[in-house]
Amino acid sequence: MYNFREIEKKWQQIWKSETSCPDNQSKQPKYYVLEMFAYPSGDLHMGHFRNYVLGDTIARYRRMQGYKVLHPFGWDAFGLPAEEAAIKKQLAPRDWTMNNISQSKETINLMGISYDWYREVCTCEPDYYRWTQWIFIKLYEKGLAYRKASYVNWCPQCQTTLANEQVVNGLCWRCKKEVTKKELTQWFFKITEYAERLLKGIDTLSQWSEEVRTLQRYWIGKSEGLEIDFQWQNEKIPVFTTRPDTIYGVTFLAAAPESELAKKLAKTKELQRYIENSLRTSEIERAQKTKSGVFTGEYGINPLTGEKVPIWIADYILGGYGTGVIMGVPAHDERDYEFAISKSLPIKNVIKPIEVTEEMEHPAMAAKIFTGEGIMMNSGTFDGMNSKEGIIRIIKLSEEKGIGRKKTNYKIKDWLISRQRYWGAPIPMIHCEKCGVVPVPEKDLPVLLPECIDFTPKGKSPLAGVPEFVNTKCPVCKGNASRDTDTMDTFVDSSWYWARYIDSQNEKEAFNKELVKEWLPIDEYIGGIEHACGHLIFFRFMNKVLYDLGYLPFDEPCKRMFTQGMITDEKGMVMSKSKGNAVAVRPFVEDWGADAGRVTILFLGPPNQSAAWSMEGVKGVSRFLERIYKLVEEKIPLSNDIPENETPLYRRINFSIKKVGEDIENYGHNTAVSELMTLVNELYKNKEDKWLPYGIRILIQLLSPFAPHLSEELWQKIGNPDSVFKSKWPAYKEIKEEMVNIIVEINGKVRDNIKMKRDISNEEAEKEIRSIIKIEELLKDKNIIKVIWVPNKLINFVVK
């Protein structure tokens, strides 16, 4: 009888006494498999395990192929949820977090995931965030970390700032409440300095999904155009446009409510109120609602036409793109057109379609909008020129006149990393009245997070209310100074954790350069598509910075990136504890076993797509595992003889070796399980075949990455003293199938599919096929003009 509880408990105890830590000195080829580490918000459920089981299957498979495999795990332990849960439960965030980690680690081990726990990292431990602070200082020394006052994304619910990547459809990514703008002095990382390299690097990521690469290209958002200076009083107003060819059609300027120009022009209460109200509205809402704005009473001068144009403050203009001021060309931009119509502003047509000439010049056409490429009109000396050529010529003219310059802009903005919350890595900077802002000396790292403080959100960092933390000495002049009281965005912690795994016990440096050369970059990285424009951008950026600083010898952190789909309930809702539809791991393992859970997860469907959890599926998998156990039990002891003659069973076994291996490598885990089921059926059908003992051995090896507990037990039962994972992944022999599928066509239309002997002659094939009643009926009373024969593939009867 298949007693999964006893078997799984036995092998987990054995594995616990062994190590999954690879030997750095081994001459085997390396393979680094990594799943995104977990946020310890409570115990894990089955929905969490899809990427862990996928990664574990690959790690076990690669070990059997002869690789030394690095398969570590850790905890993304800082962050808002821990702090909020601690407030609710009246606990210290550290206590809540460490308790969750302890629970989750036990659950991971229950599922038989072969992690290298020796290399475990936890971002809230001082021995980790010491090096996060060290990295911050390195960025500061390189000029990539800076502090400035600006309007930032502010979550009133969480009482903290958010990076652009943490605002999803205008809502906070954590609490899902609406995000507003607030002016604060904050720390930023200059990711824009790497925008072009991040963009170009995407082309080298050939083993990343096209979906992730497309999302990153869009998020970086490169656009080329002209930055041209309009004049206001004695000041220049720089404006960026991708359509310099439309500059003769400008009828207004519009400034974003958060722009510097808006601040200067907000001289009336009406303007000030409008700006305040606009900044309380999320950017997504501003972009979607009816365009609004207030005239400032001021005018700018078009540098090419000399015309005066009114300056408005308008909420559909966003301060984060370009200069925060746009030139309004309502005849050739949909948003400008909508705004101009609502404010009765002039509309001047300066581009006409290439195929239309005279009618577009009629005054009645001035109210029409045209946004495509065309012929320039009402544009002085540029009249009659193709608008593409006009873009080049106007940029050149602007540069010659000294009124503009060719410019490349990016949608991506510098990474805001300051947070006004407690549970995060303190920013390692000191503020001195005499010396300014200076970094904490490396010898004094880590700057420890104080414990036992009031960390309820108050709109400013809780650390600011802890005098023993704030008050310090300036490392330069030795005078009185104060520590920075913000903590770092947790995405800083996760931007480099994959490198710390290489050398997690190192107390002298973040990681050893020689070990980095040995193990990195990551060979296989598995995580959710939701990280495409957050973590997956930040960790590429951090890799490039560390590369430039000489700490890493490669420009990209990861060779292959796979994004798994979500596990849902049977109604299609994503599995979640908050929704009450999560399948708890511990009771499931008690009732059904870890191997049944693992194989069910892998059999649900293509791993890159969302799939519904099904108890019927669990029952089917359980029966499948029981059949395997029963088959092996019946046939013990197994003969070690290797038969001389090949049989259909032998061919099936070889096909299964090839198929399962290829499916694991191509994330076809669901079809690999299906093939194992087919193989089991064939073994049952051929119990007297001389190849059956060989087939059972191969079955256990092929099953082992999917159901490791059962495979270890059966491998031992058939007389192997060592672990199945120390055996070599079986090689297959290319065997031609005796039968092939022949497509039967009549006048090029498929009429049938017929199994025939391989390498059958065209005469024999035609004779046999024409004798089939269905084909005979279709050819009846037809004149066969020609028979086209493609050996082992197709026959086509050309008839009249």
Q: Span 506-524, mean pLDDT?
A: 96
pLDDT for 172? 85
pLDDT for 507? 96
In this predicted model, what pLDDT tens digit does every residue of 640-674 receive, in sequence order?
A: 888 888 888 999 999 999 999 999 999 999 999 99
pLDDT for 165? 64
| Cα(51)–Cα(72) distance, integer angstroms | 13
pLDDT for 500? 98
In this predicted model, what pLDDT tens digit does every residue of 72-98 receive, in sequence order?
A: 999 999 998 888 888 888 889 999 999
pLDDT for 579? 83
Would you tell me how many other CB atoms lie within 10 Å of the CB of residue 6? 11
Using 50, 70 and 90 to split pLDDT, how confident is the model at 603? very high
| Cα(165)–Cα(532) distance, integer angstroms | 10
| Cα(577)–Cα(205) distance, integer angstroms | 35
| Cα(39)–Cα(349) distance, integer angstroms | 55
pLDDT at 189 over 50: yes
For 396, residues 6+ apart whose C-beta sits below 8 A from its C-beta are none
pLDDT at 581 over 50: yes
| Burial bucket for residue 580 (CB in 10 Å: 0-12, 13-18, 19+) | exposed
In this predicted model, what pLDDT tens digit does every residue of 286-316 receive, in sequence order?
A: 777 789 999 999 999 999 999 999 999 999 9
pLDDT for 23? 76
CA-closest candidate to residue 607, choices 659, 562, 571, 660: 562
* Type of residue found at 33: V
pLDDT at 511 over 70: yes
What element of type H or E holds 75?
strand 72-75
Q: Who wins on pLDDT, 614 or 180?
A: 614
pLDDT at 324 over 50: yes
pLDDT for 366? 47
pLDDT at 361 over 60: no
pLDDT for 73? 97
pLDDT for 508? 96
| Cα(596)–Cα(615) distance, integer angstroms | 11
pLDDT at 484 over 70: yes
Q: Which sign, positive or negative, has the C-alpha torsion 55, 58, 64, 70? A: negative
Angle subtended by helix axes 708-717 and 4-17, to nearest 10: 90
pLDDT at 41 over 90: no
| Cα(664)–Cα(652) distance, integer angstroms | 18
pLDDT at 376 over 90: yes
Average pLDDT, the chain: 93
pTM: 0.86
| Cα(335)–Cα(350) distance, integer angstroms | 17
pLDDT for 553? 96
pLDDT at 365 over 60: no
With beta carbons less than 8 A apart as the criterion, state whether 309 and 252 touch: yes
For 792, residues 6+ apart whose C-beta sits below 8 A from its C-beta are 740, 742, 758, 759
Return the structure tokens found at 35. Answer: 């799943």
In this predicted model, what pLDDT tens digit does every residue of 451-481 receive, in sequence order?
A: 988 888 777 789 999 999 999 999 999 999 9
Q: Span 308-337, mean pLDDT?
A: 94
Torsion angle (degrees, nearest 10) of CA 433, 439, 440, 445 = 160
Q: Who wins on pLDDT, 128 or 22?
A: 128
Q: Span 383-392, mean pLDDT?
A: 97
What element of type H or E holds 600?
helix 594-603
Using 50, 70 and 90 to split pLDDT, how confident is the model at 356? low
The HSE-up count of residue 37 (CA atoms within 13 Å, CB side) is 30
pLDDT-above-90 percentage for the chain:
77
Q: Who wins on pLDDT, 371 or 42?
A: 371
Q: How far is CA 128 from the centre of its chain?
A: 24
Q: Who wins on pLDDT, 389 or 368?
A: 389
pLDDT at 735 over 80: no
pLDDT at 364 over 50: no
Using 50, 70 and 90 to split pLDDT, how confident is the model at 362? low
CA-closest candidate to residue 129, choices 539, 514, 423: 423
Q: Whose structure tokens read 């540098």?
A: 303
In this predicted model, what pLDDT tens digit does every residue of 528-575 receive, in sequence order?
A: 999 999 999 999 999 999 999 999 999 999 999 999 999 999 888 999
With beta carbons less than 8 A apart as the criterion, state whether 679 and 702 touch: yes
The HSE-up count of residue 286 (CA atoms within 13 Å, CB side) is 26
The HSE-up count of residue 58 (CA atoms within 13 Å, CB side) is 25
Bridge partners for 483 per DSSP: 430
In this predicted model, what pLDDT tens digit does every residue of 203-225 receive, in sequence order?
A: 999 999 999 999 999 999 999 99
User: Which ranges in 111-208 belong to alpha helices (H)?
Assistant: 126-141, 195-202
Return the structure tokens found at 216. Answer: 């990153």
